[in-house]
Structure 1
Amino acid sequence: MSLVLTNARFHLLETLRVPIAVLGSTFFPAASMLFFVVPFTGDDPAGATFATASMVTFAVMTSNLFGYGVGVAADRAEPWDPYTRTLPAGPGPRFGGRIIAGLAMTFLSLLPVFLIAAFLTAAHTTVAGLLLGVGAAFVAAVPFTFMGLAIGYALPMKAALAVAQIIFFPLAFLGGLLSAPRQAPSFVEAVAPYLPTRGAVELMWAAVGDFPLRPLSVAMLGVWTVAAGAMAAWAYHRDEGRRFR
């Protein structure tokens, strides 16, 4: 466990030494709250609550897709990464430390969203709803973490950035993150249940408000999680085989 925490500390310090990386992870969710949620649904308690949950899912997806996708690809280009992968500790401490650091950066990106929702909107939930929302954010982070790791281990940094950008917006729009519950265009409502973003945001909506979970959305979130995990494992072993055998 000490090696995991050491690796987590290393990744956090490396990120914090580049302030623009921290600013980038917090800016887009906060800007989306200020430009889209506060003016349009800020005075509606239910609307603001669901919109805040959507922005939390948006932040989780952004932080993990780009944080792991670009971060892992950038690390692979540095000489330090292949050296650490030859050490006898194995991949566990590196993976564990990276996951802990990624979760810390994810929840840092959520802080402005919570503050804007609390002080500039009528969003509200119970203490139990807030705790369930935090748990839902952890669950929602898993498939996007795996996606980011798959991108980072499979592609060089420039390609990883481009692929993360290409994946990001379609998943957000077609998953219904930019629309209120049941108010997305019909073609979005038809496609959304099959995407991981929809399952993730429905977990958030159900946690903080009165929204019935759809079994299809939750099942597809599980399918995407397993598939993305398999892709991440494949990408890691492929990279290991190319560089160290």
Structure 2
Amino acid sequence: MSLVLTYARYQFLETVRIPVAVIATVFFPAASMLFFVVPSIGDDPRAATLATASMVVFASMVTCLFQYGAGVAEDRALPWESFVRTLPSGPGPRFAARVLVGTAFVLVAVIPVVVIAVLFTEATLSPVRFAAALGALVVVVVPFTLLGLAIGYSLPAKAATAVATISFLPLAFGGGLMGDPEDLPGFIETIAPFLPTRGAGELIWAAVSDIPVEPLSMVMLGVWTVAAGAAAVVAYRRDEGRRFS
């Protein structure tokens, strides 16, 4: 555990020393709240609460894709990473440290969204539902973490950054995070259940409201989680074999 915390401290400090990395993580979800949610539905308690939940999922996705995708790919290009991979501790402590750091930055990205909702909208949430939403958030982080790791270990830094940048908006719009989850356009309604963002969104929406969880969305969220996890393991082993065999 001490080794995990040591790695986590190093990775956290390394990230915060580049302020633009933290700013980018916080900017997109907070800006979406200010420009899309507050002016249009901020005075509707139910709509504002659902929109805030959607932005929480959006913040989690953006953080994981950049923290694990672009961040891991950039680390792989450093001589220090090659050295650390040869140490006898194995990948376990470093993977655990990445999860801790990624979770910390997810919370950093979510806090401005919640603050904006409290200050500028009529969103309301009971303590019980708030606790349920936090539990759902822990589940939501898992598939996006694995997806980010798969990107980070599969692609070089520039390509990983590009993929992370161009993927989060289609996933957000396609999953219904940028609109009313109960009234989606026809095309979005058709493809949404097959995207991980829809399943993740439904978990959070169900925690903060009476929106039901659809079985197809949950099945596909599980499929995405397993597929992303398998891709991350394969990519890590391929990268290790390419470097050290």
* TM-score range relative to shorter protein: over 0.9
Q: Distance in 1 between matches of 2:208 and 2:178?
A: 17
Q: Identity percentage over the alignment?
A: 60
Q: Distance in 2 between matches of 1:143 and 1:240?
A: 23
TM-score by length of structure 1 reads 0.98
Q: CA RMSD in A?
A: 0.8
In the alignment, residue 160 of structure 1 is paired with which amino acid?
A: A
Match status 1:236 vs 2:239:
no
In structure 1, what is the equivalent of residue 212 of structure 2?
A: 212
Residues 3-152 of structure 1 mapped to structure 2, 5 A cutoff:
3-152=3-152
TM-score by length of structure 2 reads 0.98
Helix, strand or coil: the match of 1:180?
A: coil
Q: Distance in 2 between matches of 1:9 and 1:138?
A: 21
Tell me which moved more, 215-224 or 159-168: 159-168
The ranges of structure 1 where at least 4 consecutive aligned residues each deviate by more than 4 angstroms after the TM superposition are none
Q: Distance in 2 between matches of 1:55 and 1:169?
A: 12
Q: List runs of 5+ in structure 1 lacking aligned partners.
A: none
Helix, strand or coil: the match of 1:124?
A: coil
Cα deviation for residue 24 of structure 1 reads 1.1
State whether residues 182 and 189 of structure 1, in contact with CA within 8 Å, keep that contact through their aligned partners in structure 2. no
In the alignment, residue 230 of structure 2 is paired with which amino acid?
A: A
Tell me which moved more, 162-171 or 146-155: 162-171
Q: Distance in 2 between matches of 1:46 and 1:30?
A: 19
State whether residues 67 and 148 of structure 1, in contact with CA within 8 Å, keep that contact through their aligned partners in structure 2. yes
Q: Distance in 2 between matches of 1:169 and 1:48?
A: 20
Residues 146-185 of structure 1 mapped to structure 2, 5 A cutoff:
146-185=146-185
State whether residues 74 and 157 of structure 1, in contact with CA within 8 Å, keep that contact through their aligned partners in structure 2. yes
Cα deviation for residue 166 of structure 1 reads 2.7
Q: Distance in 2 between matches of 1:167 and 1:35?
A: 21
Q: Distance in 1 between matches of 2:28 and 2:22?
A: 11
Q: List runs of 5+ in structure 2 lacking aligned partners.
A: none
